[in-house]
């Protein structure tokens, strides 16, 4: 009865007349609903996890890219800084190179005729004519490899400038050495010429100067110059040239002075003879023997002395009635005043 009552109860429910399957489904619907809700939550969780992972991945990738860019930019800036430093080194090398050329301006003006080896001048001119490496800029926005390549170019340019500057300096040194060698050769030649001229003057001046000491000075100067003629001391050689030329000139002046004095003495003696000859013609006195008469007091050994120290000539009457030419010589200690006074005394004593 209870069972029938229970069934009666079932008939009163909504499930009466429904298929058994529906009744079973109705009995499991909460479970299905729970499962559906659980499944939906899991999907949302999975999506959230995947989204999180994606965000992390994207963030990580972005961070990595930023870090890579930052590192690359730092490297680029370092390369730019290094490039600019090399550019400054290039500018300094150019300035130093130009200073070298300026310092050697006097050497570069030396002509081939002023050196012993003309090739040294040609070599220097060839070095100076070479073009220097061009200046290149470091691009501010250039990549690292561009900056590094530019830096290498500038390094090569600085090296080329340094090498070229040293080549010019070396070439200039060789020109200077060649010029000094030429000067030494020319000075030696001048000294040899002065020595030869001095030897000729010394030979020609023998017995043709009043004081032989001046010839001895020339001889000493010649001997000293001959001993030093192979010296490498340019200043000493030039000094010997001037000394020998000066001593030789002094000897020539002494020769000219003696010649002039001798000619003056001959002219005075000839004038006195002409005066005496005129007087003899007026008085009728034969004075043939007086031309070769000698002084009785050793004033002179000749009636017409040719020596340059003739001071005065005095014609006096000899005991035999002839005339005698008394010559007063400075070598015997006579002065013009004494000679004239003595001559007057001689003539007065004969009156």
Tens of pLDDT, residue by residue over 55-94, are 777 766 675 666 666 676 677 788 888 899 999 999 999 9
Chosen domain end from 144, 163, 186: 186
Cα separation of 291 and 280, whole Å?
Answer: 13
| Statement: the pTM of the whole predicted model exceeds 0.85 | no
Residues 287 and 228 in one domain: no
Residues of the chain with pLDDT under 70: 1-41, 59-61, 63-70, 72-73, 279, 281-313, 315-326, 328-333, 350-351
Question: What are the structure tokens assigned to 287, written together?
Answer: 């004075």
| pLDDT of 93 | 95
Chosen domain end from 143, 168, 186: 186
Residues 193 and 282 in one domain: no
**CB of 317 within 8 A of CB of 349?**
no
**What's the Cα-to-Cα distance from 105 to each of 120, 177, 323, rounded to whole Å?**
15, 16, 83
Cα separation of 67 and 79, whole Å?
Answer: 18
- Residue 3 belongs to some domain of the structure: no
Question: What total of structural domains would you count in the chain?
Answer: 3
| pLDDT of 335 | 74
Residues 166 and 211 in one domain: no
Chosen domain end from 186, 212, 238: 186
**CB of 181 within 8 A of CB of 116?**
yes
Residues 176 and 227 in one domain: no
| pLDDT of 297 | 39
Residues 194 and 244 in one domain: yes
Q: What is the dihedral of CA 216, 222, 228, 230, to 10 degrees?
A: -160
- Residue 103 belongs to some domain of the structure: yes
Residues 125 and 192 in one domain: no
| pLDDT of 300 | 40
Residue 64's domain spans which residues? 18-186
- Per-residue pLDDT of 303-340, as tens digits, reads 444 445 565 667 665 555 555 666 766 666 677 777 77
- Residue 2 belongs to some domain of the structure: no
Cα separation of 242 and 239, whole Å?
Answer: 5
- Per-residue pLDDT of 5-16, as tens digits, reads 444 444 444 444
Question: What are the structure tokens assigned to 22, written together?
Answer: 């529906």
Question: What are the structure tokens assigned to 342, written together?
Answer: 């003595």
């Amino acid at each position: 009865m209870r069972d029938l009552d229970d069934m009666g109860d079932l008939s009163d429910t909504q499930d009466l007349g429904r298929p058994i399957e529906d009744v079973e489904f109705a009995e499991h619907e909460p479970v299905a609903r729970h499962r559906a809700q659980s499944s939906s939550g899991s999907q949302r969780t999975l999506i959230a996890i995947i989204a999180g992972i994606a965000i992390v991945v994207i963030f990580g990738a972005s961070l990595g890219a930023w870090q890579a860019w930052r590192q690359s930019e730092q490297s680029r800036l370092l390369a730019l800084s290094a490039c600019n430093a090399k550019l400054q080194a290039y500018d300094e090398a150019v300035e130093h190179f130009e200073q070298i050329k300026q310092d050697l301006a006097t050497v570069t003006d030396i002509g081939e005729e002023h050196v012993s080896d003309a090739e040294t001048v040609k070599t220097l001119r060839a070095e100076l004519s070479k073009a220097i490496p061009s200046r290149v800029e470091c691009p501010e926005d250039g990549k690292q490899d561009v900056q590094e390549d530019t830096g290498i170019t500038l390094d090569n340019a600085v090296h080329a400038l340094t090498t070229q500057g040293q080549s010019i300096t070396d070439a200039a040194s060789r020109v200077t050495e060649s010029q000094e060698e030429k000067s030494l050769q020319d000075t030696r030649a001048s000294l040899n010429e002065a020595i030869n001229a001095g030897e000729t003057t010394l030979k020609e001046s023998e017995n043709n100067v009043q004081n032989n000491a001046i010839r001895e000075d020339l001889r000493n100067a010649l001997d000293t110059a001959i001993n030093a003629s192979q010296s490498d001391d340019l200043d000493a050689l030039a000094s010997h040239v001037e000394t020998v030329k000066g001593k030789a000139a002094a000897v020539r002046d002494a020769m000219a002075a003696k010649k002039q004095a001798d000619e003056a003495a001959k002219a005075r003696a000839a004038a006195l003879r002409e005066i005496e000859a005129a007087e003899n013609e007026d008085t009728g006195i034969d004075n043939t023997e007086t031309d070769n008469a000698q002084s009785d007091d050793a004033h002179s050994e000749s009636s017409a002395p040719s020596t340059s120290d003739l001071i005065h000539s005095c014609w006096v009457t000899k005991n035999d009635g002839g005339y005698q030419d008394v010559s007063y010589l400075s070598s015997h200690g006579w002065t013009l005043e004494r000679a004239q006074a003595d001559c007057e005394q001689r003539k007065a004593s004969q009156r």
